Structures are given as C-alpha cells and as structure tokens.
Amino acid sequence: MENLFSLTVIADFLGSSLRLAVPLTFATIGGMLSERSGVYNIGLEGMLLLGAFGAAVGAFLMDTPFGGVLLGGLFGATGGLFLAVLAVSLRVNQLVAGIAINMFAIGLTSFLSRVVFGVKATTMSLPGFKPMAVPLLAKIPVIGPVFFQQDLLVYTMYGVIPLLYWLLFHTPWGLNIRAVGEYPRAVDTAGVSVYGLRYACVIVSGLLAGLGGCHLVLSQVFLFTEHMSAGKGFIALAAIILGRWNPIGGFLACLLFGACEALQLRLQFYHQDVPYQIFTMLPYIASILALIGIVGKASPPASAGIPYEREGK
C-alpha cells in the first residue's frame, strides 16, 4: 500500500484525472456558453461524437492531427448549427432538439465510420498529439508532470477557460450574452440581435464540444469507435450545473469527474476479481450525487429553454 501513495503514483493519478477531464471540460464550457445565451444544449453528447468522428476522418485523410482538429471542430460546430436552427429559428422544444441531435450523431457516425474506415476502424492507429513538456515548469515536483507535460489540446484548454471567463464577465459582448439568457426582450429593445447572439453561442458551443471529441481520438485512444463518447456529454450537463454556469467552476467540476474516471480505471486493475461494470458506474454515480447535493442551490439563466419570438411577428 505504501507504493500507492508515492509521489510518482499520485502525480500519475492526477495527470490521468486531468487528461480524462479534458473532453468533459470542452463540452462543459461549450454547453455553459449556450445556456448562458438561453439555449439548453442537450446535444453535447452528439457533438462530442461528431467531433470525435471528424477528428478521426481528418487525421486519417490528411495524416496529421491538425487535420483532425480542423474537421473535428467543424463537425462539432455543424452540430451546433443544426441545434441553433431547430431551437432558435424553428423554436422547437430545446430538450427534444438536443435529443434529436444525439440520436442523429449516433446513427450517422456509426454508419459513416464503416464506410470510411471499414474493418480497420478498431485496429488502426491514427496520428495524434504527444505530450510536450513546458521548459522549467515541467520540472516542478508533482505539479510539473501533472500540468505541464501534456498535449497541445490540454494547453489549448488552459487558454480557452480564462479567455471565456474574461469575455463573459468583463466585456460588453459577455454582458449581452448574459442579458440574452436572462431578459432577451430588453436586449432586443436595445437593438442587439437576440437571434444572432444565440446562434453564435450555440455554434461555438458545438465547436468546443467538437474539440472535446478531438481529444478523445487524437490524444487518448488514437482511433474511432462507435459510441465512444460514452455518456460524457451528459456528465458535462451535470458539470455545468455543479459549476454554476461559470467556466472556472465547470472546469473544477470536470476535474472531479475526471478523477472519478481515473479512479475507476485503477480499481479495475487492482480488483480484477470484481465485475468491471461496477467500477465503470463510478463517474455516473458521482454526477448524480453531485446534482442531488446542489439541487435548489443553483439556478440556470431565467430565459434558458424558452424560445424567443420578436413582438409583432
């Protein structure tokens, strides 16, 4: 047991927790942005899957992970565009629209993966991102290996979180987004396009979720498998609430769920006599318990989930 608590083992566990939290974090901050503008993005699961498939296709065709990021982000943003058309323009029930996106993504990626990759889908190894050490910082005991020996998408996440926080809470653009999620009529009266802001936020939400899918393929497993998002989009919905619609809070919530996933992987290794399904439930149980603990203590934007229609139409 002594070796389990060595600095090396602890650093390895924390590093795994961070890596496993990356897809969740991209999906969470994307979903949070969409909900801040008044649109529930229940389709995060599907957008993660679309991003993962796009990343696999891009890396496969262009033989570079950057091609994967390009197509993965594009596929995720396209999923966001579909949701925006349904929820903003057509004013479809946002929960139904999100579920439709999820079902569409599952069916489409399952079919196209067989068309594009054929029988090679589960045996191929795609080009991906390798860990890159940050000079000096990577040598800090424990903290260095955890935070500063990661891949490019992790470092991208480090930049996106504070950038989005600053944009939301310290710029006129962010003020408009938060106002659209609370009082869209007042924003419209002031001459700001409610539809335009919501479209932008939902599309960027899909783009960010797509980057989460890119990390699954290009930094974790280096291949695409059907249903590989494995419910991460739904865990991201819990992280949005647990993080109180704040990018930093959402990231911390994702670290918690990432730690749960890293723990279940280690429990499977150390307790091979126990059915692995028991351990794989851990992240999902944690998300349920987290939501139970925060019920009644966190409120979404007042106009989230409510379609907006301009007066006179």
The CATH code of the domain that includes 187 is 1.10.3470
| Tokens read off for 264 | 């279940």
Task: Report the b/e string of 138-165 with b at 16+ CB within 10 A.
Answer: beeeeebbbbbbbbbbbebbeebbeebb
Is 311 part of any domain?
no
Is 212 part of any domain?
yes
The pTM of this model reads 0.94
Q: Which residue has the higher pLDDT, 275 or 48?
A: 48
Q: Give the domain extent around 124.
A: 3-294
Is 313 part of any domain?
no
**306 three-class SS:** coil
Q: How confident is the model at residue 1 (pLDDT cuts 50, 70, 90)?
A: very low
Q: How many domains does the chain have?
A: 1
Is 67 part of any domain?
yes
Is 309 part of any domain?
no
Whether 255 and 16 have beta carbons less than 8 Å apart is answered as no
Is 174 part of any domain?
yes
Q: Which residue has the higher pLDDT, 291 or 98?
A: 98
pLDDT score of 295 more than 70: no
Is 91 part of any domain?
yes
* Distance from C-alpha of 192 to C-alpha of 186, rounded to nearest angstrom: 9
Is 304 part of any domain?
no
**149 three-class SS:** strand
pLDDT in tens, 265-287: 888 877 777 777 777 888 888 88
